[in-house]
Amino acid sequence: MTEPRPAAATRARRVPRRLGSTLIALVILAVLLFPVYWMVNASFFTSAQVLSVDPPLMPWSGTLDGYRQALESQGPNLLTSIAVATGTVVLTLAIAIPAGYALARFRVPGAGIVLFAIMVVQMVPNIVLANSLFDILSSIGLFDTYVALVLADSTLAIPFAIIVLRAFMLGIPGEVIESAQLDGAGYLRTLTRVVAPMSRNAIITAGLFTFLFAWGDFLFGVTLTSGQGLVPVTVGIYQFIGTQVSEWNAILATAVLASIPAAILLVVAQRYIAAGVTGGAMKE
């Protein structure tokens, strides 16, 4: 008999290691996803099943009562959060795209100071920003409005978006921009016709994370609204827990509904996120 070749023997030894690593990864993934599974599972229970000592592992005798209550009480709040998050994305990208382009391609005086200031802003505790914004927005009559929430959420999203877009735009070849300018394109046309399309992955990444920032915000939502008319879904869940402690199936159904938009966006845009986050890694 001939002895196995070294390469074949090496591959044979690697197979058990890969299987072991895969099993460990699956176990870790199952532990991390179990709360999500249980949230979805329990949202179909009755109130008695949720509070029972031995709840079922699958909702074989499930009910949609929790979702009916959730839509009745939290439906308007979900629409409010969608409107605020969408407005935040539009405002953030409208400012961050030209700002990232200017910091990446132009010799702006004091650009280093601007970047340092952007990073410092992200280090300021949110509660400090919330208190300051409350005083400012209340004094100009914007308290408890969509505009207030959009502006507040944008203060967190714009610095992050500028950093991501600038890092990506640094990797765009200068020859492409120079060629567009030689063809008669001005700065604005070069940005909209050349730089922005080439930065699609970074723009989608920045827009997605901006949406998630605004969608999951609670501090600004509870600080800049009265909690009566304009209520984001995060604040609505908080109020719902306080008033419907016995209706845990409705509370969990609300959490499931609030998770769906973010989950859909992450699934749809995951390949753009990977390209957008790593796009500027080699340039810096």
Rounded Cα distance, 133 and 148, in Å: 8
Counting beta carbons within 10 angstroms of the beta carbon of residue 233, is it exposed (0 to 12), middle (13 to 18) or buried (19 or more)?
buried
> Is 206 within 8 Å of 93 (Cβ atoms)?
yes
Q: What is the pLDDT along the chain (284 residues), one digit of tens a residue?
A: 455 555 555 665 666 778 888 899 999 999 998 988 888 888 888 877 777 777 777 777 778 888 998 888 888 999 999 999 999 999 999 999 999 998 888 877 777 788 888 888 778 888 888 888 999 999 999 999 999 999 999 998 999 999 989 888 888 888 888 888 788 777 888 888 888 888 888 899 899 999 999 999 999 999 999 877 789 999 988 888 776 566 788 888 888 998 888 888 888 877 777 655 555 544 44
Residue type, 127: I
For 93, the 3-state DSSP assignment is: helix
DSSP 181-231: HHTT--HHHHIIIIIHHHTHHHHHHHHHHHHHHHHT--HHHHHSS-SSSS-
Which pLDDT score, from 0 to 100, does residue 282 have? 45
pTM above 0.85, yes or no: no
Which pLDDT score, from 0 to 100, does residue 281 have? 46
Rounded Cα distance, 47 and 227, in Å: 27
Which pLDDT score, from 0 to 100, does residue 283 have? 45
